[in-house]
Amino acid sequence: MRIDIITVLPELLKSPFEASILRRAIDKGLVEVYTHNLRDYASDNYRTIDDYQFGGGAGMVMMIEPIDRCISKLKTEREYDEVIYMTPDGNTLNQKISNQLSLAENIIILCGHYKGVDQRVRDRFITREISIGDYVLSGGELGAAVLCDSIIRLIPGVLNDETSALTDSFQDNLLAPPVYTRPAEYKGWKVPGVLLSGNFPEIEKWREEQAYLRTRERRPDLLDE
């Protein structure tokens, strides 16, 4: 998979890809992530990418021209499955969306700033608009990093134990059950006996029950879906 991120703050997108699972996925050649500084596509010497909004009002709007230039250049080089815009008024990211996007070959992610982008960008270029939650960030970059993390870990070969993504919370619309590790007893606090029993059908049954109970208690909305 190849991910091209268009941003006015490329430095904000460096560190998420320099450590841990994402770093390993890149090193293994399973994903390529490129950031593009939108200012490189401005047409004036000031590298302007935003302007006042028509009709008046506070806040700047990201201009269509630099975005068009950047997206159009990328599209001459390869085909893209999706051009995603990160915005608080997009569809809220969930595991289903991440699963779908993890199957894509090439995606572009456009990070919004200020009051957002000229609506014509959204109408003409964007195939999907994603929010990472009902709160407003200073820009789309951190949302883009969250989105990339959730997608990249689903690409086959990225996680060492392939099954571990399958047992994540939200796969099957259930939260994950509780987990424990050594010691089996700490300050008198014991691990549930079934997990030490070696009886794998029983363990599996216990985990399913716990996942269900936890979901019913914390996220009953998932069970309705």
Q: Quick one: tokens of 33?
A: 């992530």
Minimum CB separation of residue 208 from ligand ADE in Å reads: 33
Minimum CB distance to ligand ADE smaller for 103 or for 136: 136
Minimum CB distance to ligand ADE smaller for 10 or for 143: 143
Q: How many CB atoms lie within 10 A of CB 207?
A: 17
Minimum CB distance to ligand ADE smaller for 92 or for 199: 92
Residue nearest to ligand ADE (CB): 143
* Furthest-apart CA atoms within the chain: distance in Å: 70
Q: Which of 199, 47, 64 is nearest to 121 (CA)?
A: 64
Minimum CB distance to ligand ADE smaller for 43 or for 91: 91
Per-state percent for the chain, helix, strand, coil, to nearest 5:
40, 20, 40
Minimum CB distance to ligand ADE smaller for 16 or for 143: 143
Minimum CB separation of residue 145 from ligand ADE in Å reads: 11
Minimum CB separation of residue 8 from ligand ADE in Å reads: 12
C-alpha to C-alpha distance for 185 and 21, rounded to whole angstroms: 31
Q: Which of 17, 7, 12, 15 is nearest to 152 (CA)?
A: 17
Cβ atoms of 11 and 139 within 8 Å: the answer is no
Minimum CB separation of residue 204 from ligand ADE in Å reads: 36
Q: Quick one: tokens of 23?
A: 């770093």
Q: Quick one: tokens of 21?
A: 């699972």
Minimum CB separation of residue 171 from ligand ADE in Å reads: 22
Binding residues vs ligand ADE (CB under 6 A): 86-88, 112, 131-133, 135-137, 139-140, 143
Minimum CB distance to ligand ADE smaller for 58 or for 189: 58
Burial of 17 (0-12, 13-18, 19+ CB in 10 A): buried
How far, CA to CA in Å, does 180 sit from each of 24, 102, 104, 160? 26, 29, 35, 20
Minimum CB separation of residue 205 from ligand ADE in Å reads: 38
